[in-house]
């Protein structure tokens, strides 16, 4: 099997493992927040203590950090192995000049910050729901259901996509940075084509382009497109395709 195909399979499998790990962490997060809400003072089965609700935010933040951000930190540490895998793949096609270690660290930090932003957004959502449930005298069951909807619904969907796209974009940055440092002038768009692959990816998969041709081909709109550098955003949201350098 070709080195680039092996690399695509490796990154795809890692993305699936990361999504499974995140899903498990969010289940635990949801349970722990529900357990914490269960400590709220109740009156006839309803939340009523606004002081408790206001002071709940620091504890919610702590739970979010322990169950969500700790797992995200562990996931992003795996990116170092992706860097080494990419070097080995590109090295099958030509001489490789690696990027500085500080570049890897900075890319990991930027990825982590994206997940931290999601966490802060949903911390606000959860804290507001706890306060509003208390203000309106919602039942304990209704309060827990609102938290479950926030964590198991919106946050889970958003973070699951992010955990996939973050890994793919990290890999894209490494492939392109190493390729340019190594003198590449052409690039192959590679990765498996599935039934669910977008027409844009099906059209370009397996083809080789210059940088100028890539920017031209990526002009305009297509399904799932993300605005940004086509070397990084590739086929858009949830895309499993990659660029690799081609050496003449």
Helices in 38-100 by DSSP H: which ranges?
50-64, 70-77, 79-91
Taking the C-alpha atoms of residue 53 and residue 246, their distance in angstroms, rounded to an integer, is 58
Taking the C-alpha atoms of residue 208 and residue 246, their distance in angstroms, rounded to an integer, is 8
Contact between 178 and 100 under an 8 Å Cβ cutoff? The reply is: no
pLDDT of residue 1 exceeding 80, the answer is no
- Give the tens place of pLDDT for each residue, 59-87: 999 999 999 999 999 999 999 999 999 99
CA angle 160, 162, 166 (to 5 degrees): 130
Local confidence band at 103 (pLDDT 50, 70, 90 cut-offs): very high
Predicted confidence at residue 14, as pLDDT, reads 97
pLDDT of residue 150 exceeding 90, the answer is no
| 3 state SS of 86 | helix
Contact between 160 and 22 under an 8 Å Cβ cutoff? The reply is: yes
Predicted confidence at residue 154, as pLDDT, reads 85
Q: Is the whole model's pTM more than 0.85, yes or no?
A: yes
């Amino acid at each position: 099997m070709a080195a680039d195909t092996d690399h695509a399979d490796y990154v795809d499998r890692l993305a699936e493992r990361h999504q499974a790990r995140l899903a498990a962490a969010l289940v635990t997060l949801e349970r722990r927040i529900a357990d914490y809400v269960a400590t709220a003072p109740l009156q006839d089965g309803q939340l009523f203590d606004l002081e408790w609700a206001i002071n709940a935010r620091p504890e919610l933040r702590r739970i979010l950090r322990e169950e969500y951000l700790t797992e995200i930190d562990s996931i992003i540490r795996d990116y170092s192995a992706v860097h080494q895998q990419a070097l080995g793949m590109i090295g099958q096609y030509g001489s490789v000049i690696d990027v500085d270690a500080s570049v890897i660290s900075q890319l990991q930090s930027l990825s982590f910050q994206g997940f931290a932003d999601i966490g802060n957004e949903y911390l606000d959502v959860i804290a507001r729901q706890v306060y509003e449930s208390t203000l309106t005298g919602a039942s304990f069951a209704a309060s827990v259901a609102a938290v479950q909807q926030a964590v198991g619904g919106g946050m889970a969907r958003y973070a699951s996509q992010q955990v996939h796209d973050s890994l793919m974009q990290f890999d894209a940055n490494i492939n392109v940075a190493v390729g340019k440092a190594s003198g590449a002038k052409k690039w192959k768009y590679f990765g498996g084509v599935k039934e669910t692959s977008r027409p844009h990816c099906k059209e370009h998969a397996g083809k080789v382009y210059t940088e100028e041709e890539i920017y031209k081909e990526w002009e305009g709109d297509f399904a799932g497109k993300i605005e940004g550098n086509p070397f990084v955003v590739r086929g858009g949201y949830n895309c499993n395709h990659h660029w690799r350098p081609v050496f003449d």
